[in-house]
A = this chain, B = another copy of it.
Amino acid sequence: MKEDVKLLSVLSKKNVTPPPIWLMRQAGRYLPEYRALRAKAGSFWTMCMSPEMAKEITLQPIQRFGFDSAILFSDILTIPYALGLDVVFEESIGPTLTPITTTDALRRDEKEWARRLSPAYETLRMVRAELDSQTALLGFAGAPWTLATYMAEGKGSSDQRAAKLWGYNDPQGFARLLDILGDCVALHLVRQLDAGADAVQLFDSWASGLPEREFADWVIAPTKRIVEKVRAVKPDAKIIGFPRATTLAGYEAYANETGVDAVSIDTAVPPRWAAKILGKRVAVQGNLDPIALIAGGDALAAAVDRIVDAFEGVPFIFNLGHGILPETPVEHVAQLIACVRSSA
């Protein structure tokens, strides 16, 4: 454990003031240098799968803003790809894949998984070699439930209908799917840590809207299983979990039961509640409204103050409550960082 790296200190439950800051999707379309590379590369997937380009993109926001952590430039759908599914990124409609209704077509070959996922590891090694020692490096993966929503629907879905129907109608088959996904995700996290990631984040971006029972079965249990599998190989692995937009009761159960070191919270979670309830058990990360970051000015400054004040004395990482939006002015990001770093 590199204790001098602020983000890692927080993940070891130390209170750091001012808090470290990074932003979900910080390597992305709001950056002119990203858009320039994107125009050259042709496709998003090409950039994910080309370590040289992915390295450059991963480092862009660090070079411009000096965030406290870099995060691997990749996509959560590398896991379905590793399992043998074809993933197609189309410009205007987002990623699509052939929907599945059983687990029959999924490859169960760890060597093949690692081979298909290897661009991520190569990227991490290259980033690690160029990153200064004060900046953390995060790997990540999609969590099984969220991956299942894409695999069942064949694309992103606003109500996760296909995955829910699979789970309601065929609980055993769906549990098998979540297990296979969990195996692949655990391998991917371990390999990313091997390749130089200091910590990893699990994105359960579609955790909202699940009834309590299904949240327990489809989000908490698979996450706990992954954390246990990763820790069996790497007992000190630091893991952040983001069950986006679950209920407060869902966040609390997730913090208490999965074994993650930190919980990332969405925009709507009251910061004082999170500091008091989640902060007893885990470090907390979040939760500025990405739209307040587009707005900038007084609204941004006030929102930042409310969050920073609420987490005083709690191990805390400043972040957004959701990914940064392409329309965000870069000067507002600079304003945000200045606000956070001048706080406390």
Residues of A that sit less than 8 Å from B by CB:
158-161, 164-165, 168-169, 171, 208-215, 245-250, 266-271, 273, 287, 289-292, 294-295, 297, 299-300, 303, 306, 321-322, 325
> What's the least CB distance linking A284 to chain B, in Å?
15
Cα–Cα distance between A212 and B273 once the two chains are bound (Å): 10
Cα–Cα distance between A249 and B246 once the two chains are bound (Å): 13
B291 A164 Cβ-Cβ under 8 A: yes
B289 A211 Cβ-Cβ under 8 A: yes
A209 B273 Cβ-Cβ under 8 A: no
Given contacts A247-B247, A247-B268, contact A291 B165 (CB under 8 A): yes
A168 B209 Cβ-Cβ under 8 A: no
Cα–Cα distance between A291 and B301 once the two chains are bound (Å): 41
A322 contact set on B, CB distance < 8 A: 159
B213 A306 Cβ-Cβ under 8 A: yes
A295 contact set on B, CB distance < 8 A: 164-165, 168-169
- Residue in B250, B291, B299, B321 whose CB lies within 8 Å of A268: B250
- A sample of 13 inter-chain contacts (CB < 8 A) reads A159-B322, A164-B295, A168-B291, A168-B295, A169-B299, A209-B245, A209-B266, A209-B289, A211-B292, A212-B268, A215-B268, A247-B248, A248-B249
> What's the least CB distance linking A243 to chain B, in Å?
11
> What's the least CB distance linking A99 to chain B, in Å?
16
Q: Is the interface of A mostly helix, strand, loop or mixed?
A: helix
Cα–Cα distance between A250 and B248 once the two chains are bound (Å): 10
A273 B292 Cβ-Cβ under 8 A: no
B270 A249 Cβ-Cβ under 8 A: yes
A158 contact set on B, CB distance < 8 A: 158
B246 A248 Cβ-Cβ under 8 A: no
Task: Report which residue of A211, A215, A270 has the largest number of chain B beta carbons within 10 angstroms of its beta carbon.
Answer: A211
- Residue in B168, B245, B271, B325 whose CB lies within 8 Å of A212: B271
A271 contact set on B, CB distance < 8 A: 212
- The 3 tightest CB contacts between A and B, nearest first, are A168-B295, A168-B299, A212-B270
B247 A270 Cβ-Cβ under 8 A: yes
A164 contact set on B, CB distance < 8 A: 289, 291-292, 295
A269 contact set on B, CB distance < 8 A: 247
A291 B161 Cβ-Cβ under 8 A: yes
A289 contact set on B, CB distance < 8 A: 164, 209, 211, 214
> What's the least CB distance linking A172 to chain B, in Å?
12
> What's the least CB distance linking A42 to chain B, in Å?
27
Cα–Cα distance between A212 and B270 once the two chains are bound (Å): 6
Q: Could you list 20 further interchain pairs (A-B, Cβ under 8 angstroms) beyond the known A165-B295, A250-B268? A: A159-B290, A160-B291, A165-B291, A165-B294, A168-B295, A208-B268, A209-B245, A209-B268, A209-B289, A210-B268, A211-B267, A211-B287, A211-B289, A211-B321, A212-B268, A212-B270, A245-B245, A246-B268, A247-B268, A249-B273
> What's the least CB distance linking A247 to chain B, in Å?
5
Cα–Cα distance between A299 and B214 once the two chains are bound (Å): 11
A303 contact set on B, CB distance < 8 A: 211, 213
Cα–Cα distance between A306 and B212 once the two chains are bound (Å): 10
